[in-house]
Amino acid sequence: MTPPAAGFGTRIVSTGSFVPEKVVTNFDLAEIMDTSDEWIQKRTGIRQRHISDQSKGEGTVSLAINAAVDAFEKSGLAPEDIDLIICATCTQEMTCPSVACRISERLGTKKAAAFDLAAACSGFLYGLNFAETLIRCGRYRTALIVGADAMSTVMDYTDRSVSILFGDASGSVVVTRDDDPARGCQYQLMGADGVGWEALYMPRREVDIPEHDRDNPIKLGMLRMNGREVFKFAVKKFQEVIEETMEQSGHSIDDLSLMICHQSNLRIIESAREKLGIEEGKVYVNIDRVGNSSAGSIGLCLDELNRAGRINEGDLVLFVAFGGGMTWASSLWRV
Ligand code: UT7
């Protein structure tokens, strides 16, 4: 729980995103595993996903840089105006240097702090909330937050229960100080419960695999997921997080202009929307075109909405995510 907004205001200067060119449809997957377009659409809402072409060197760094450059160029700012770069990801090619430092290299920022943040699908919102708080308290003026995950690089495409869900994408946002303290994040919430980590994890060593999952045929380095467990957790958590955020902020669901949530599975999003009685048109969905892109998903949605002219000054926008860890986050903005 956080106290009401104080200090400086904040505002979104620009947004950016990137999806790799290569498209993999459900029909393509049905050619390499025992699945069908009908099953995937019915259980997840996904028709297709984009994946990186690793033969061309594409991956998390290129996803992150492309989204960062997109938002940075639209911001009209100079490299020296950026004080902080946060990249949320769980699929780094290298953990040292951070992906954020590769963004810094590309943008030519010479003094901005840069680091990666690991909170799985909640990572973009963790980054946004941290950056917003640092700007609001006056410590920094301008931050670039990027969410990027090349999930295809951690997919075992012999496993139909996990690999049908994910795709690669990135999203970014430049946030800066605003003189109006009423502008920006109205309320934010971040949490984690480590007890649930075994439902979603990427082991690098045999020793890291929990006893009960030793027979799981998924290769080391690839994502393992207990879909049913994650599903149950997500349905409950989404609703709780939204209710707590609206209640603590003093706003009602009807005040919302838009809800931008992590694109995990259409059934999870729909369940929260229906239970809370949120109008269909207020909840953005792009999972049908891009799948679940982990930390890339919320920034990508934000940029698509922004480019479509659907983010207008004064709007009340709610961001919500949950992810591996298990982690969760919300961020309620007066944009
Ligand atoms: O971003 C956060 C990360 N993760 C999530 O949000 C994931 C949350 N979970 C989910 O989205 C869903 O659990 C999945 C989409 C992963 C799976 O859907 P489900 O409705 O929970 O299916 P299930 O695992 O309960 O499996 C139902 C049946 C099983 O067959 P039997 O045992 O009933 O005969 C599976 O073997 O569907 C079978 N199955 C499939 N069939 C065709 C599982 N995956 C597939 C598949 N194609 N790809």
The model's pLDDT over 241-274, given as tens digits with 9 standing for 90+, comes to 999 999 999 999 999 999 999 999 999 999 999 9
Ligand 1 mean position, distance from CA 161 (Å): 5
The CATH number corresponding to 1-335 among 3.40.47.10, 3.40.50.300, 3.40.50.2000, 3.40.640.10 equals 3.40.47.10
Alpha carbons 208 and 213: distance in angstroms, whole number: 10
Ligand 1 mean position, distance from CA 36 (Å): 12
Q: Point out the residues of the chain with pLDDT beneath 50.
A: none
Q: For 148-167, how does the pLDDT look when each residue is reduced to its tens digit (9 = 90+)?
A: 999 999 999 999 999 999 99
Concerning whether 121 is annotated as a catalytic residue, the answer is yes
Q: Catalytic pick from 26, 50, 262, 301?
A: 262
- Torsion from C-alpha of 67, 72, 73, 76, nearest 10 degrees: 160
What pLDDT sits at residue 321? Answer: 98
- Torsion from C-alpha of 59, 60, 61, 65, nearest 10 degrees: 110
Alpha carbons 245 and 251: distance in angstroms, whole number: 8
Residues 6+ apart with CB under 8 A from 56: none
Atom of ligand 1 nearest to the CA of 228: 13
Among 43, 157, 168, 237, name the best residue to mutate to test ligand 1's pocket (greatest count of ligand atoms within 8 A of Cβ): 43
What pLDDT sits at residue 5? Answer: 66
* DSSP letter for each residue of 177-198: EES-TTSEEEEEEEEE-GGGGG
What pLDDT sits at residue 6? Answer: 79
Ligand 1 mean position, distance from CA 228 (Å): 7
Q: Catalytic pick from 121, 185, 261, 301?
A: 121
pTM, to two decimals: 0.96
Alpha carbons 22 and 118: distance in angstroms, whole number: 26
Concerning whether 262 is annotated as a catalytic residue, the answer is yes
* Ligand 1 pocket, Cβ-based, cut-off 6 angstroms: 35, 39, 43-44, 121, 160-161, 164-165, 200, 225, 227-228, 230-231, 234, 264-265, 292, 323
Among 223, 265, 288, 292, name the best residue to mutate to test ligand 1's pocket (greatest count of ligand atoms within 8 A of Cβ): 265
Ligand 1 mean position, distance from CA 174 (Å): 36
